[in-house]
Amino acid sequence: MVRMEEISEFLQKGRARNVKQLVEEALSEGTAPGVILEEGLLAGMGVIGEKFKNNEVFVPEVLIAARALNAGLDILRPKLAESGVEAKGTAVIGTVKGDLHDIGKNIVKIMFEGHGIQVVDLGVDVSAEQFVDAAVENHANLICCSALLTTTMGEMGRVVEILKERGLRDSVKVMVGGAPITQSFCDSIGADAYAPDAATGAEAAIRLLGEMEG
Cβ 177 to ligand B1M shortest distance, Å = 2
Pairing of strands 142-146, 90-95: parallel
User: Which range binds ligand B1M by CB under 6 A, 69-77, 147-155, 162-170, 206-214?
Assistant: 147-155
Residue selected from 63, 85, 136, 149 as contacting ligand B1M according to rule CB under 6 A? 149
| Residue (40 or 177) nearer to ligand B1M, CB | 177
d(CA 168, CA 186): 18
Q: How many CB atoms lie within 10 A of CB 209?
A: 21
Q: For residue 198, state whether it binds ligand B1M (rule: CB under 6 A).
A: yes
Give the CA dihedral 136, 87, 155, 62, nearest 10 degrees: -150
Nearest to 91 by CA among 148, 130, 33, 142: 142
Pairing of strands 142-146, 173-177: parallel
Q: For residue 114, state whether it binds ligand B1M (rule: CB under 6 A).
A: no
Helix (H) / strand (E) containing 20: helix 16-28
Binding to ligand B1M, residues 41-100 (CB under 6 A):
59, 98-100
Cβ 117 to ligand B1M shortest distance, Å = 12
| Residue (81 or 100) nearer to ligand B1M, CB | 100
d(CA 112, CA 149): 23
Over the window 153 to 192, marking each residue x when it contacts ligand B1M by CB under 6 A and - when it does not, the resulting string is ----------------------xxxxxx------------
Q: Are 194 and 181 in contact (CB under 8 A)?
A: yes
Interface residue list for ligand B1M (CB under 6 A)? 59, 98-105, 107-108, 144-146, 148-151, 175-180, 195, 197-198, 201
